[in-house]
Amino acid sequence: MMNFLYFDTSVGISGDMILGALLDLGVAPDRFKERISKLKLPVEIDIHDVQRSSLRGLKVDVHVKHTRHHIHRRWTDIEQLISGSSFSPKVREKALAIFKRLFTAESHVHGKEFHETHLHEAGADDAIVDIVGSCYLAEELGVSTVAAAPMNLGRGWVKAAHGTLPVPPPAVAELLKGVPVYAAWAEEELVTPTGAAIISTLAERFVSFPEITYDRIGYGAGGREIENFPNILRAFLGRMDSSVPERQIYQIEANIDDANPQVLGHLFEQVLALGALDIFLTPIVMKKNRLATKLTVLAETATIDSLVDKIFRETTSIGVRVFPVGRRVLDRKMETVEVMGESVNVKVAFLNGVPVNIQPEFRDCRRLAEKMKMPVKNIIELVNQSFSKRNR
């Protein structure tokens, strides 16, 4: 049995909210403080209950002690600090992967080289606590798989070290590429750079509330009272059976013989953003020997209506078929390996706790291939070799 974690990000997300939610799931605050103290940062951590819109949540405040000189941290500083810490290899790996995403995003939006970039809000000592602490707490809770809801960004303007910026700030927008997002209810920033970096690195998928069975809920409070809704991040922790049980999902099908292929391609992004488990197209021959395309979408019960509505709106179909099917999937988790000085995500599938399938993240391999001017197939081979060597 392995644990999965689902974050309800309908109120946004930040590093301190993640810490509060994970601690609230059952990790002793004193143990957390003791482990973080080994980083030897000039911080004091205060953990206490607060009320947000009359609801209770756990608030984590990281107070940074003032020093004579303000430190701008670069990648080498962060790497040295985390790599030299006493945390487990997996915690260090994940924390460094999160910080690498932050530095990459910051260097891109400010037009600087990666190793010349320094971080302000994200590089401060409180963010180091947020990032390393989140990875440590996930390990303490035995989390193997992380998922999250689409991101509610909020809207309006936010004051930052670089001046007043639109919501989402450029770094947050960069970090959440490929993640389903929206803006609702609040005229302010709801997703911070640290929160965006943590969730976009750790979460394997972003879906509306999935069909899950949970036994604990953690409530992590943000630092502000927000009008109209409680500023509290909820984290749902449950058990996942690695024996591959069958569960029912639904298959949505439509035969389409008059659609523009570009329209069908566009539909892929729309459907996946709504929480579809999978979508694929199959060439078929219909009556009167007409060439056509069969659209197939796999979905959970809660997303059927929205997916069918999207198919009708985005395609020329006037009818779909919906029927239940059995589905068995292996337990999966995302790990990272270092190849040529870069972090690459690897999806590992388990059968009864034993790895049976290893798949490097193609997007990461392609990025590294372009950077090193190498064939992507060679990068994939190097990733597989690095993973196998590490796990012997």
Return the domain boundaries, the chain.
2-240, 247-327, 332-390
Give Cα separations from 94 to 48, 105, 119, 231 (angstroms).
27, 17, 18, 27
Q: CA-CA distance, 365 to 242, in Å (whole number)?
A: 28
94 pLDDT exceeds 90? Answer: yes
Residue whose token pair is 């809660």: 302
Among 40-44, 67-71, 108-112, which stretch is predicted with the lowest mean pLDDT? 67-71
Q: How many CB atoms lie within 10 A of CB 109?
A: 18
Q: CA-CA distance, 284 to 254, in Å (whole number)?
A: 11
Give Cα separations from 105 to 3, 30, 99 (angstroms).
30, 34, 10
List of residues 6+ apart from 269 with CB closer than 8 A: none
74 pLDDT exceeds 80? Answer: yes
Between 206 and 353, whose confidence is greater?
206
Q: Which of 17, 46, 22, 49 is nearest to 33 (CA)?
A: 46
Per the document, the length of the chain is: 392
> Which pTM does this prediction carry?
0.66
Between 232 and 74, whose confidence is greater?
232
- Confidence band of 130 (pLDDT split at 50, 70, 90): very high
**Encoded tokens for 66:** 């003032």
CATH class for the region spanning 332-390? alpha beta
289 pLDDT exceeds 80? Answer: yes
Domain 247-327 fold is Alpha-Beta Plaits (3.30.70)
Q: How far is CA 6 from the centre of its chain?
A: 10
Q: CA-CA distance, 361 to 139, in Å (whole number)?
A: 22
Q: CA-CA distance, 103 to 122, in Å (whole number)?
A: 9
Q: What is the pLDDT of residue 164?
A: 87
Q: What is the pLDDT of residue 242?
A: 47
241 pLDDT exceeds 60? Answer: no
Mean pLDDT within 81-104: 93
**Encoded tokens for 99:** 């910080």
- Confidence band of 122 (pLDDT split at 50, 70, 90): very low
- The answer to whether residues 156 and 175 touch, using CB atoms and an 8 Å cutoff, is no
